[in-house]
């Protein structure tokens, strides 16, 4: 057996060869369907327009955490304030 290195993995991936390990079946939290293999998982993600959380970097999660904190504290950018005022104006004008 020859150990697999990064260049071999990149070459295989570019040729469309992807080898994955065992997959433990699990129940989807979205629709309750049983996902038994990688193909089921990929189809499920496409069907529900979701992606695995592993695709996001730690920096992405940190940035989103800051955004959530600012929303919960009532801090909004000038653009967000303008958008909210425009929505309110649109609602008021369409009521009558």
At 93 the pLDDT is: 92
Question: Does 38 have pLDDT greater than 60?
Answer: yes
Q: Which two tokens stand for residue 64?
A: 């989103």
Question: Does 2 have pLDDT greater than 70?
Answer: no
Half-sphere exposure of 30 (CA within 13 A, CB side): 11
Q: Where is 34: in which H helix or E strand?
A: strand 34-35
This prediction has a pTM of: 0.48
At 46 the pLDDT is: 93
Split at pLDDT 50, 70, 90, the class of 58 is very high
Q: Which two tokens stand for residue 76?
A: 């909004």
At 54 the pLDDT is: 84
The model's pLDDT over 68-95, given as tens digits with 9 standing for 90+, comes to: 998 889 888 899 899 999 999 999 999 8
């Amino acid at each position: 057996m020859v150990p697999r290195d990064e260049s071999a993995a990149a070459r295989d991936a570019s040729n469309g060869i992807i080898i994955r390990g065992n997959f433990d079946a699990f129940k989807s939290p979205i629709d309750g369907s049983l996902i038994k293999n990688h193909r089921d998982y990929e189809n499920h993600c496409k069907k529900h327009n979701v992606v695995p959380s592993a695709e996001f970097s730690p920096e992405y999660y940190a940035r989103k955490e800051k955004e959530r904190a600012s929303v919960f504290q009532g801090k909004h950018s000038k653009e967000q304030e303008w958008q909210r005022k425009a929505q309110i104006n649109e609602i008021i004008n369409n009521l009558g």
